[in-house]
């Protein structure tokens, strides 16, 4: 089948994809085909992702399909930016996943920050899953996200892995309180490093102020 034929068949199938089975089958079909562009020069993968991000379907189901489409990075930087620019705020979490799984190093950080800034009110109301936090950490975004509300979810995730009942994978074991503290100190975020240590120790909120956090961090150095 020619590229034009594949594009035409995809368009018809996309309009007829009114059930989970059909939407999943369309994902499988795209993985079987060679890379294909539509008449506007966009890959069929990006067109399908756009439909999933902007459509009125179930968000969790759409996320599963997004992850399946991006098992291997296939999008260009321009396509990722197009998806970020056109995705509604209601799809903020799924959009973050698309950006992270696209692995476009040249624009990943900026696209993540764009979504976090634009859709901060929506994101603050969402429960941030550990898998999303782990993906952000794996993408090297820990220090870049300190000034954003999602940072608290990242810290909670790191601290939660210290609990005895948490069974961490080998990858997750890399992101410990000690690791995070060292990263913060190296970047001269002393207050954040001290606050993390106090939080991990269970110190109550009134005793975790800026001055206490900085002093605690300095005391750690003195003991070393």
Please state the rounded mean pLDDT for residues 52-61: 92
The pLDDT value recorded for residue 220 is: 60
Q: What are the Cα distances from residue 131, in Å, to 48, 93, 171?
A: 23, 12, 11
- pTM of structure: 0.88
Measured torsion, CA atoms of residues 212, 217, 218, 220, in degrees rounded to the nearest 10: 120
Q: Do 98 and 131 fall into the same domain?
A: no
Q: Do 112 and 145 fall into the same domain?
A: no
The per-residue DSSP string of 77-105 comes to HHHHHHHHHH--GGGHHHHHHHHHHHT-T
Domain boundaries, position 146: 127-224
Task: Give Cα 123 distance to the centre of its chain.
Answer: 12
- Tell me the Ramachandran region of residue 41: left when phi exceeds 0, alpha when psi lies from -120 to 50, beta otherwise: left
Our count of domains for the chain comes to: 2
Q: Over pLDDT 70: what percentage of the chain?
A: 85
What distance in Å separates the CA atoms of residue 70 and residue 97, rounded to the nearest whole number? 10
Q: Over pLDDT 90: what percentage of the chain?
A: 75
Please state the rounded mean pLDDT for residues 193-215: 70
Q: Do 196 and 163 fall into the same domain?
A: yes
The pLDDT value recorded for residue 163 is: 66
Q: Do 4 and 99 fall into the same domain?
A: yes
What distance in Å separates the CA atoms of residue 25 and residue 161, rounded to the nearest whole number? 37
Task: Give Cα 86 distance to the centre of its chain.
Answer: 17
Using pLDDT thresholds of 50, 70 and 90, give the confidence band for residue 208.
Answer: low
Quick one: 69 exposed, middle or buried, by C-beta within 10 A (0-12, 13-18, 19+)? buried
Residue 43, pLDDT > 60, answer: yes
The pLDDT value recorded for residue 214 is: 58
Domain boundary among 59, 90, 125: 125
Q: Do 37 and 106 fall into the same domain?
A: yes
Q: Do 17 and 121 fall into the same domain?
A: yes
Using pLDDT thresholds of 50, 70 and 90, give the confidence band for residue 174.
Answer: confident
∠ CA 81-125-190, nearest 5°, is 80
DSSP three-state, residue 35 = coil
What distance in Å separates the CA atoms of residue 189 and residue 193, rounded to the nearest whole number? 6
Structure-model confidence comparison of residues 170 and 196, the more confident one: 196
Q: Do 203 and 146 fall into the same domain?
A: yes
- Tell me the Ramachandran region of residue 187: left when phi exceeds 0, alpha when psi lies from -120 to 50, beta otherwise: alpha
Please state the rounded mean pLDDT for residues 203-212: 57
The pLDDT value recorded for residue 161 is: 83
The pLDDT value recorded for residue 213 is: 59
The pLDDT value recorded for residue 222 is: 57
Q: Do 7 and 91 fall into the same domain?
A: yes
Please state the rounded mean pLDDT for residues 69-80: 95
Task: Give pLDDT tens digits for 8-40.
Answer: 999 999 999 999 999 999 999 999 999 999 999
Task: Give pLDDT tens digits for 105-115.
Answer: 889 999 999 99
Please state the rounded mean pLDDT for residues 160-180: 74
Residue 82, pLDDT > 60, answer: yes
Using pLDDT thresholds of 50, 70 and 90, give the confidence band for residue 54.
Answer: very high
Q: Residue 63: which of 126, 157, 148 has the closest Cα?
A: 126
Task: Give Cα 126 distance to the centre of its chain.
Answer: 13
The pLDDT value recorded for residue 206 is: 47
């Amino acid at each position: 089948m020619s590229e034009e034929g594949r594009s035409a068949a995809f368009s018809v199938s996309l309009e007829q994809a009114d059930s989970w089975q059909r939407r999943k089958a369309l994902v499988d079909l795209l993985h079987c085909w060679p890379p294909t562009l539509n008449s506007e020069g966009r890959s069929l993968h990006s067109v399908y992702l756009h439909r999933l991000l902007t459509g009125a379907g179930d968000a969790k189901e759409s996320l599963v399909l997004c992850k399946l489409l991006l098992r291997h990075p296939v999008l260009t930087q321009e396509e990722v930016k197009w998806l970020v620019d056109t995705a509604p705020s209601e799809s903020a979490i799924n959009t973050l996943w698309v950006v992270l799984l696209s692995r476009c190093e040249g624009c990943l950080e900026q696209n993540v920050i764009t979504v976090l800034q634009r859709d901060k009110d929506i994101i603050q109301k969402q429960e941030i899953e550990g898998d999303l936090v782990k993906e952000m950490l794996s993408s090297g975004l820990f220090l870049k996200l300190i000034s954003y509300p999602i940072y608290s979810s990242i810290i909670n995730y790191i601290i939660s892995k210290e609990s005895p009942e948490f069974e961490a994978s080998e990858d997750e074991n890399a992101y410990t309180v000690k690791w995070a503290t060292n990263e913060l100190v190296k970047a001269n975020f002393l207050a954040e490093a001290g606050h993390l240590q106090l939080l991990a120790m269970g110190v109550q909120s009134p005793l975790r102020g800026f001055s206490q956090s900085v002093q605690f961090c300095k005391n750690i150095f003195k003991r070393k």
